[in-house]
Amino acid sequence: MPEVKSVDEVLLARVQADPATGRAIPDAATGETIGYAPEQAIVEVDVAVAAAKAAQREWDELGHAVRSKLLHAAADAVDANAEALARLLSREQGKPLDGPNARFEVGACVTWLRSAATTVLEPQVLIDSDTDHAVLTYRALGVVAAIGPWNWPLMIAIWQIAPALRMGNTVVVKPSEYTPLSVLALVDVLNEVLPPGVLVPVVSSDREVGARLAAHPDIDKVMFTGSTATGRRIVEASSANLARLTLELGGNDAGIVLPDADPKAIAEDLFWGAFINTGQTCAALKRLYVHESIHDEVIDALAGVVRRMPMGCGLDPGNVLGPLQNAAQFDIVARLVEDAEARGGRVVVGGEPAPELGANFFRATIIADLTDGVALVDQEQFGPVLPVVRYTDVEDAIASANGLDAGLGASVWSSDRVAARAVAARLRAGTVWINSHGTLHPEVPFGGVKKSGYGLEFGVEGLKSVAEPRIVSG
């Protein structure tokens, strides 16, 4: 009997390298090798950029209507390969198929591709009088570098690729060394419909490859999502090539629960705000400030939700929480939890690894009785751990929320939308949600302030960020 391969293995076979030359990529849950990623050298960055540059003019000249049609066709191709992509993503990244995880992520790729295909960036007439006329138009920039992280590798790649292509740019994609295979598979699927050279991947575990791409003289724009430290290096690199930058860096989003919130009603949304993708999400709820009058009820309701959410291997049906994607991230989370306990934190639920599930699993954890100044509150944990801080005066909670360098998102939880909006207006973050956290819409711009980065993605603003403004005056 010939061996029957699963859909993701068939897809993987299209992109993976020879085991003799490739780098073994582990299953995030089991540690077993799932495939081999190609290892490209710095010189291959130059080849990739040259190919993208050579293809750009023709791609631009196709015009918006044709590119829009091709982006819809690309969305159809992703749809047709959705289960294969989701399974590969689940194994490589660790996120379960179920819940707002792998299948959800692939679905978001389709949604964002279609949004980029249908959104129109209209010329803006600035002056139109008897004597003067000025109009602002937008053109392609050239070649865009899309440098991505390992937490939402497919969705974030699409956030970078789709608007860039729509505006007539070509793209060189550089996935994280931790999740190259699923991104390569996505690019391969997109390239079923895109012309050659329009979307070119470079893959490596050598940080110099990403550095070369960001600094390349023929790169006109870098779209980057990842750590603040790497973001700084990309800013430095841009001093040479003057590449435009969109930087989506880490966050340490605060949530403020006002005294009139209903603990039971908000518990599940609080949970998903903090624990989506097992907490490995840039705009996740990472520290929660709860008014003392309802503090214990909120903790109880939240802990109840945590206890009923299954964690385990991503391919096993029903699981909604998975492992930390890699051992380095597991160590960060374990160290922060240990330190928080030593500093007086009270573990309400979780608080320890789950070795019976696999090496990188850490139980979903809530730690109460913490204060600002403890590392788990002040630093981005990027894992399934939520620190809770009790407050008495909302002014103190607002000061705490605004007190860190990060400014990606924030949230306010209340039964009174007007009161919540008044607090929201005082929070310094790119997005402030009310009674939810981290919900994104392809037409609503998203981006950070302070050290969480700069530049907006999505919708019309997202198209502007990958375009060159041109004024025609007279």
By CB under 6 A, is residue 191 in contact with ligand NDP? no
376: number of Cβ within 10 Å: 24
- Residues 223, 144: contact at Cβ < 8 Å? yes
Which of 250, 350, 459, 462 is close enough to bind ligand NDP by CB under 6 A?
A: 250
By CB under 6 A, is residue 380 in contact with ligand NDP? yes
The alpha carbon of residue 190 and the mean position of all alpha carbons in its chain are separated, in whole angstroms, by: 19
> Which amino acid is residue 367, in one-letter code?
I
- Residues 147, 234: contact at Cβ < 8 Å? yes
Of the pair 103, 286, the CB lying nearest ligand NDP is at: 286
Region near ligand NDP per CB under 6 A, out of 1-9, 207-215, 256-264, 369-377:
207-215
Which of 207, 264, 335, 421 is close enough to bind ligand NDP by CB under 6 A?
A: 207
Of the pair 151, 170, the CB lying nearest ligand NDP is at: 151
> Which amino acid is residue 204, in one-letter code?
S
At its nearest, how many Å lie between ligand NDP and the CB of residue 26? 15
**Residue of 396, 349, 370, 363 whose CA lies nearest to 287:** 370
Tell me the sheet residues that pair with 357.
none
Largest Cα–Cα distance in the chain? Answer: 81
**Residue of 228, 367, 369, 227 whose CA lies nearest to 286:** 367
By CB under 6 A, is residue 225 in contact with ligand NDP? yes
By CB under 6 A, is residue 194 in contact with ligand NDP? no
Q: Specify burial of residue 50 (Cβ count, 10 A radius: 0-12, 13-18, 19+).
A: middle
Region 53-82 residues binding ligand NDP, contact defined as CB under 6 A? none
> Which amino acid is residue 113, in one-letter code?
L
Helices (H), 94-227: 102-118, 153-166, 180-190, 207-215
Which of 27, 177, 220, 369 is close enough to bind ligand NDP by CB under 6 A?
A: 177
At its nearest, how many Å lie between ligand NDP and the CB of residue 457? 12
Of the pair 71, 249, the CB lying nearest ligand NDP is at: 249
**Residue of 150, 198, 202, 197 whose CA lies nearest to 176:** 150
Answer yes or no: 248 catalytic.
yes
Tokens, residue 140: 């392609």
Region 92-111 residues binding ligand NDP, contact defined as CB under 6 A? none
Region near ligand NDP per CB under 6 A, out of 64-72, 224-232, 334-342, 465-473:
224-232
At its nearest, how many Å lie between ligand NDP and the CB of residue 148? 6
The alpha carbon of residue 111 and the mean position of all alpha carbons in its chain are separated, in whole angstroms, by: 15
- Residues 275, 386: contact at Cβ < 8 Å? yes
Region 277-316 residues binding ligand NDP, contact defined as CB under 6 A? 282
By CB under 6 A, is residue 149 in contact with ligand NDP? yes
Of the pair 207, 264, the CB lying nearest ligand NDP is at: 207
Of the pair 210, 409, the CB lying nearest ligand NDP is at: 210
Q: Residues 181, 183, 189, 192: what is their CA dihedral angle, to the nearest 10 degrees?
A: -100
Which of 53, 67, 103, 174 is close enough to bind ligand NDP by CB under 6 A?
A: 174
State the Cα–Cα distance between residues 449 and 248, nearest whole angstrom: 9
At its nearest, how many Å lie between ligand NDP and the CB of residue 470? 29
Answer yes or no: 313 catalytic.
no
Mark residues 311-350: x for contact with ligand NDP by CB under 6 A, - for none: ------------------x--x------------------
92, 105, 177, 248: which is the annotated catalytic residue? 248
Q: Which helix (H) or strand (E) covers residue 285, if one does? A: strand 285-291
Tokens, residue 303: 């802990």
Strands 409-413 and 365-368: unpaired
109, 282, 313, 457: which is the annotated catalytic residue? 282
At its nearest, how many Å lie between ligand NDP and the CB of residue 451? 11
| CB proximity list for 92: less than 8 A, separation 6 or greater | 25, 27, 28, 34, 178, 179, 181, 182
Which of 93, 151, 431, 435 is close enough to bind ligand NDP by CB under 6 A?
A: 151
Region near ligand NDP per CB under 6 A, out of 29-37, 174-182, 301-309, 338-346:
174-182
> Which amino acid is residue 120, in one-letter code?
V
> Which amino acid is residue 236, in one-letter code?
E
Q: Which residues are catalytic?
A: 248, 282
Contacting positions for ligand NDP (CB under 6 A): 147-151, 174, 176-177, 204-205, 207, 210-211, 214, 225-227, 230, 233-234, 248-250, 282, 329, 332, 380, 382
